[in-house]
Homo-oligomer: A and B are copies of this chain.
Amino acid sequence: MSLELTILGCHSATPRVNAHPTAQYLEINSRHFLIDCGEGTQRQMRKYKVGFSKINHIFISHLHGDHFFGLIGLISTFGILSREKPLHIYGPKGIKELIDIQLTYSKSHINFELVFHELTSKKSELIFEDNKVEVRTIPLNHRVYTNGFLFKEKPKPRNLNIDVIKQYSEIDICDYNNLKAGRDFVLSNGDTIKNEVLTKEPSKPLSYAYCSDTSYKPEIKDVIENSDLLYHESTFLSDREDLAKKTKHSTAKQAAKIAKASDVKKLILGHYSSRYNDVSLFKKEAEEVFEEVILADAGKKISICS
């Protein structure tokens, strides 16, 4: 099982020459997701060779411009690229109206179904699942309705212990799926061979929690605990904790406290305010509380295998 996150942009507010607004590309258990879509995201996708045709699901955390102003351009480009597969957009109520009106006025011809999943719940809810992955919302606390997203691999089937299985001539290939699903095998003489003898533990499902934008909200631990990877916004350093509180953002220290309390394995920081020239200060501050800290940067890939 594997998970790879590509940072396409991780700066707050307005785009600048070398500071791109939020967007991330996540590959998890063979599924491909786009998370947030600030202005210029499609250019960043091309720059970092993210396959446009792989994206079937886009998750928008909230309707501040630096998280979605690039969405209409991306949808329009999908149309120009003759996309036919449906595209699912998950985001706050209003996103459908916003996109539809722009498609109408710009006469952007799209030959694919655009499926909007408008979110309103203030509780964590399952919003996507298939046989490989499930996605849940992480209700956050920001100036507008905001969700983070928890991406979790589905448990993999158990692994066959072929050497042991071959000792039992009665076990046929067509029995393998049942074994992978965890079932014991009953021989013709009535004896039961326990599944744990015939199979091995699969690798642990991986999970990624995306939390932006938000003020410090310790309760999110209930949703994100034990995640392998956590991205948590850190717009400010503790020197401006007052401003973080006022604007409902977080400091690097607060992001680290969330990571520690939630027992995640690694913390990625991002959404840096432009007032700070030296982003290494974010890592330094967070590391006073939590050890495994990574600074988001456009183009950076973070991979986890299990």
Interface residues of A (CB under 8 A from B): 13-17, 39-40, 42-43, 46-47, 63-65, 68-70, 72-73, 76-77, 80-81, 94-95, 97-98, 101-102, 105-108, 143-144
Chain B residues contacting A14 (CB-CB under 8 Å) are: 42, 73, 76-77, 80-81
Q: A15-B43, A40-B15, A42-B15 are in contact. Are A73 and B77 (CB under 8 A)?
A: no
Q: Of the candidates B17, B70, B101, which one forms a contact with A101 in the assembled complex, judged by CB atoms under 8 Å apart?
A: B101
Instruction: Provide the bound-state CA to CA distance between A81 and B95, in Å.
Output: 26
**Interface pairs (17), CB distance under 8 Å:** A13-B80, A14-B80, A15-B40, A17-B43, A17-B46, A39-B39, A39-B40, A39-B42, A39-B43, A39-B73, A40-B43, A63-B107, A64-B107, A65-B72, A65-B73, A97-B105, A98-B101
Given A14-B80, A16-B43, A105-B98, A72 and B73 contact (CB-CB distance below 8 Å): no
Contact partners of A73 in chain B: CB under 8 A: 14-15, 39, 65, 69
Cβ–Cβ < 8 Å partners of A72 in chain B: 65, 69
Nearest opposing residue in chain B for A108, CB measure = B65
Residues of B within 8 A of A65 (CB): 72-73, 76, 102, 106, 108
Given contacts A39-B39, A70-B39, A73-B69, contact A63 B15 (CB under 8 A): no
Residues of chain B within 8 A of A143, CB atoms compared: 107
Chain B nearest CB from A125 CB (Å) reads 22
Query: How far does the alpha carbon of A70 sit from the alpha carbon of B73 in the complex, in Å?
Result: 9
B-chain residues with CB within 8 Å of residue A64 when the two chains form the complex = 106-107
A73 and B63 alpha carbons, distance in the complex (Å) = 12
- Distance A16 CA – B80 CA, assembled complex (angstroms): 13
Pair B63/A106 contact, Cβ less than 8 Å: yes
Give the residues in chain B near A76, CB-CB below 8 Å: 14, 65, 69
- Residues of chain B within 8 A of A40, CB atoms compared: 15, 39-40, 43
Least distance between A74 CB and chain B CB atoms (Å): 9
Residue of B nearest to A93 (CB): B105
Contacts of A63 in B (CB 8 A): 105-107
Give the docked Cα–Cα distance between A43 and B42 (Å): 14
Residues of B within 8 A of A16 (CB): 43, 46
Known: A65-B72, A76-B65, A77-B14. A102 touches B107 (CB 8 A): no
Chain B proximity of A46: nearest CB distance (Å): 5
Q: How far is the CB of A298 from chain B (nearest CB, A)?
A: 12
Q: How far is the CA of A130 from the CA of B94 in the complex (A)?
A: 40
Residues on B with C-beta less than 8 A from A46 are 16-17
CA distance A16 to B42 in the complex (A): 8
Q: In the complex, which residues of chain B have a beta carbon less than 8 angstroms from the beta carbon of A107?
A: 63-64, 143-144
